[in-house]
Structure 1
Amino acid sequence: MIGDDDAIAQILHRLRRAQGQLTGVISMIEDGRDCKDVVTQLAAVSKALDRAGFKIVATGLRQCLTDTPEGERAPMTIDELEKLFLSLA
């Protein structure tokens, strides 16, 4: 679980927005749209994905560092969490 229901809803909203924007980029390329317009929309997709990733990390920090229920993975170390966070950069 990534976080509470509100955080999950926000993350899903951002991902769905990015999905719609990506569909738009694909259509723009297929329609032969101007490079500037395509790149601008692609940047919006990238930003939406980045924001979703940062939201996941931000809401999951406490969960990643605390004990997990029996049978699940061990909590992440600080180094693992830092590596995960930096993978978004």
Structure 2
Amino acid sequence: MTTSPATARDHQHQAPGYAGHKADHLARLNKIEGQIRGISRMVTDDRYCIDVLTQITAASRALQEVALGLLDDHVRGCVDNAVRTDPDQAEQKFTELNDALRRALRL
């Protein structure tokens, strides 16, 4: 997921919606990083295909959970704030949310 330079500049002055859960998200991502290293070792060690696939599925689901947490933080923080303070910015946030959901759902 990439952000255009203009979009990145627009958000530099405000804390991200996940600021309150940053430590939790980082802890989960660090755990996932360890899972990925473990999967790499499994392949290096010629482990059984299904065992490797099971671990890949677990890591993928863990990443999806982080994404859902970030999405929740975005809606409850960034989108909610925009709706309360600036109708134009709210429309932009709804468009961003829609685009993010389309990418996540591959529609």
TM-score category, normalised to shorter length: 0.7 to 0.9
> Any residues of structure 2 matched to 1:1-89 within 5 Å, and which?
1-5=16-20, 7-65=21-79, 66-67=81-82, 76-89=92-105
TM, length-normalised to structure 2: 0.66
- Aligned partner of residue 77 in structure 1, secondary structure: helix
Give unmatched runs, 5+ long, in structure 1.
Answer: 68-73
Deviates further, 78-87 or 53-62: 78-87
Seen in structure 2, the aligned counterparts of structure 1 residues 22 and 53 have a Cα distance that, compared at 3 Å, is same
Give the helix-richer structure, 1 or 2: 2
Q: Secondary structure at the match of 1:2?
A: coil
- Tell me the CA shift for residue 3 of structure 1: 2.4
Runs of 4+ residues deviating >6 angstroms:
none
CA distance in 2, matches of 1:88, 1:48: 15
Sequence identity of aligned pairs in percent?
A: 28
Where 1:56 maps in the other structure, the secondary structure is helix
CA displacement, residues 11-57 of structure 1 (integer Å, 9 cap, x when unaligned): 11211111110000011001110001100000111011100011001
Aligned length: 82
